Amino acid sequence: MSTSNEELRENANETTVLLPVQNNVITPQTRNLDEALYIFQKAVPVFFASFLQYIFSVASVFTLGHMGYVELAALSLSSMFASVTGISIIYGATSALDTLCPQGYTSGNPKMVGVYLQRAIIIIILGFIPISFIWWESGIILVYLGQDEEASAYAQKFLRWSILGAPATFIFWCVEKFLQGQGIMQATSYVLIIISPISIILNYALVWWEPIALGFIGAPIATNISNWLMLILSILYIKYIDGHQAWGGWTRACLDDWSSFTRLAIPGILTACADWWIYESIALASGYFGSISLAAHRLVLTIILLFFQLPRSISIATSNRVGNLLGEGLVNKAKITAKVSLILAFISATCSATGILIFRDSLGYLFTDKEEVIKLTATILPLCALFQISDATGIIGGGILRGQGRQKTISIIYLSAYYKFALPVGLLLAFKFNYELFGLWSGVTGGSILMGIGIFTAVITTNWEWEVEECKRRIKVDSLEDEILEV
């Protein structure tokens, strides 16, 4: 059986454990199965970490939800305001590390990953400075936008306290991608196994437990403490367990070549904002049709986020896998990864769509006992089942493109699909043709289908050889040992 030089080199450099095969012959089917198992193995701890982060993020909801309507409304307002003005922006910027870290790790100079981490931390903290001023004056802005004055005042108080803990969250995201770029997916799960129960206890104690109860402000303070503990444990994991091999100490190189980071970060920001803001826009529009429509929208979104976790986990594993392989110059293996990942997208989406359709009438009971809300939710969920395949393709295909460093392509597709089609069509159907919430989600469904088609087209038309060359140009592998400053 003849084998090309590139295939021989890829087999020699392959780091996954291949399944046993007869006569030592590696068939295409075996390679595909082996790659699928590898991606799934890496995705499982990411999925578990995502679930723990979900618990971590809703701890404040459980504690403040029993204080009163104003406090709960303030929490919703502060969450929306923080997401739109800061969190989506910073999270989008960290997507640059989805490209740089895995490509740098296998490029021949793994300590470049540490340089990328340092560069990201500095840029993101500088970017948070103007955001923190906006959060500080958030009450005035919310009242100007027509929100309730009392709820806005509470939201401002929550956001002002959140300023102290936000940097820890943002740096943690960077550290998480630093570890994932090295193929270390389980670290976040270990950290969150410890922090999630601590966060729940802190939220209860600082809000309700009489000896130290602080009332409303106890929730953001508890979150701040949890965020810093989460970051500290991640750093200790790197120092004493795994991940230190890509850290060479602080270096002056982190102050150079910020343009390579921003060229990836800016389209990443546009993509994250396009994705996050579309649902906030739909929430705002659904409010015009009454509280039942708004509640049903939030319910549908909550259910969709649960089904979103699996393709998101596969996307992260795929992004790092593609980046690692391009850093090594293993073109054929990267192609296999892309093909297998798209197949996994279809499988996961089919399972999600089936589950939504089968349980559409009962899923609402998991979150509320209001029959009107549950019935309206059940009418929207078939639309959500319809776009599961396109959504999974977009999410996982986007991971392939991020691994290549094509954040700009992703942002163009997302902005076009959601803001040139989904939002205007949804508003038209909702208000002009009186389809209300069903019309809004019909627009989202159409936008998702267009987004999935666009991402899929971008992936299958990839010039992989050119991407390897672009990877080499981006990394500019050179020795940095003379610049490393031991700390």
Distance CA 338, CA 72 (A): 43
pLDDT score at 116: 94
**Closest C-alpha to 202, from 222, 185, 218, 186:** 222
Q: What pLDDT does residue 15 have?
A: 42
Residue range 188-214, pLDDT digits in tens: 999 999 998 899 899 889 988 888 888
Pick out the chain residues at pLDDT < 70. Answer: 1-26, 58, 61-62, 65-66, 68-69, 72, 367, 475-487
- Name the packing angle between helices 407-417 and 388-404 (round to 10°): 150
Beta bridge partners of 484: 251
268-279: per-residue pLDDT in tens? 999 999 988 898
Q: In whole angstroms, what is the distance from residue 169 CA to residue 83 CA?
A: 13
**Pairwise CA distance, residues 18 & 175, whole Å:** 30
Q: Per the structure block, which two tokens stand in for 108?
A: 């021949």
For 390-418, the pLDDT digits (tens) are 999 999 999 999 999 999 999 999 999 99
pTM: 0.85
Please choose, from the candidates 257, 240, 180, the residue with its C-alpha nearest in 3D space to the C-alpha of residue 480.
Answer: 257
End-to-end CA distance of the chain: 53
Nearest to 437 by CA among 297, 256, 255: 297
335-to-76, 368, 452, 460 alpha-carbon distances in Å: 43, 45, 19, 9
64 vs 144, 166, 219, 448, 450, CA distance in Å?
Answer: 25, 20, 7, 34, 39
Nearest to 262 by CA among 94, 118, 88: 94
Gyration radius of the chain over CA positions: 23
pLDDT on residue 61: 67
| Partners of 251 in beta bridges | 484
- Tokens 């922090």 belong to which residue? 195
Dihedral over Cα of 119, 121, 124, 127: its sign: negative
149 CB neighbour count, 10 Å cutoff: 10
The structure tokens listed for 233 are: 């444990």
Which token pair is 210? 């009489």
- Amino acid identity at 368: T
Query: Quick one: CA torsion of 468, 116, 162, 273, rounded to 10 degrees?
Result: -20
- 48: tokens are 């578990």
**Ramachandran bin of 401, using left for φ above 0, alpha for ψ from -120 to 50, beta for the remaining angles:** alpha
Contact 307, 356 (CB under 8 A): yes
